[in-house]
A = this chain, B = another copy of it.
């Protein structure tokens, strides 16, 4: 038994790590680019990325000397799946969700 959600939520619990993950929401980026404007040391960034990767939230691809990171859809899907347990508690947002889906159809 692996309890994937443990790693996911623990990874997202740290504000710095969540900021990194949210940066990646806009698209693929390498570790150095991620550090820009973040007041974080290189080892710290590397450690955070390792945690995010261990949680299945982020994937890495070597490209020369750089390592590109991007959001792992599998991890996001797991969160969405977990959140689905509580869909009964956000009926007020149904309309907003509908709009999102309509938008995605086009």
**Footprint of B on A, CB under 8 Å?**
3, 5-6, 9-10, 12-13, 15, 18, 22, 25, 71-73, 76-77, 79-81, 83-87, 89-94, 97-98, 100-101, 104
B92 adjacent to A77 (CB under 8 Å): yes
Count of identical protomers in the assembly: 2
A86 adjacent to B76 (CB under 8 Å): yes
B97 adjacent to A77 (CB under 8 Å): no
A98 adjacent to B100 (CB under 8 Å): no
A89 adjacent to B101 (CB under 8 Å): no
| Alpha-carbon distance A15/B1, docked complex (angstroms) | 13
Nearest opposing residue in chain B for A73, CB measure: B89
| Alpha-carbon distance A56/B74, docked complex (angstroms) | 27
